[in-house]
Amino acid sequence: MPRQILLLNGPNLNLLGTREPDVYGATTLDDIVAQLRTIAIERGAELSDQQSNHEGGLVDMLHDARNWADGVLFNPGAYTHTSIALRDAIAATGLAVVEVHLSNVAARESFRQHSMISPVCVGVVSGFGAISYVAALDGLLRHLDEVAA
């Protein structure tokens, strides 16, 4: 049975490609999803994607993923820096979660330099634009393989 991966994106990521392209690039979320879906298939995995601008919706999606996903790629957007609810939801699921960001959040404004999410994730990839998602998927699949071995 192929590994089941949830790609979860938080607030404003539906605007990728037009939102602050100097920071986030010109690649759209649909472009990222299509690329990751192709890579997942090549790696023997299946990718499901969801996006929400609402914290509670993201919490619900994480809770639901407990029932079917092997792991999660998660770009929580601005909730990275503020959401104890998302941190707790990740911890509660027991799933392997990789935090992913397009920009290098550590090199940005001081309020973006602390993640509430990172301590409950198996890894973090940031700063490589859309390639961050590719690296995060690779890391997650390798992690799941190691845990299963």
DSSP state of 46: E
Active site residue 101: yes
Active site residue 114: no
Of the residues 63, 101, 114, 143, only one is catalytic, namely 101
Q: Is the dihedral of CA 55, 57, 58, 60 positive or negative?
A: positive
**DSSP reduced 3-state for 73:** strand
Q: Which segments within the chain are labelled E, that is strand?
A: 3-9, 45-51, 71-75, 96-101, 123-126
Q: Which two tokens stand for residue 19?
A: 């939102």
User: What's the order of all strands across the beta sheet hosting 45-51?
Assistant: 45-51, 3-9, 71-75, 96-101, 123-126
Q: Active-site residue numbers?
A: 24, 101
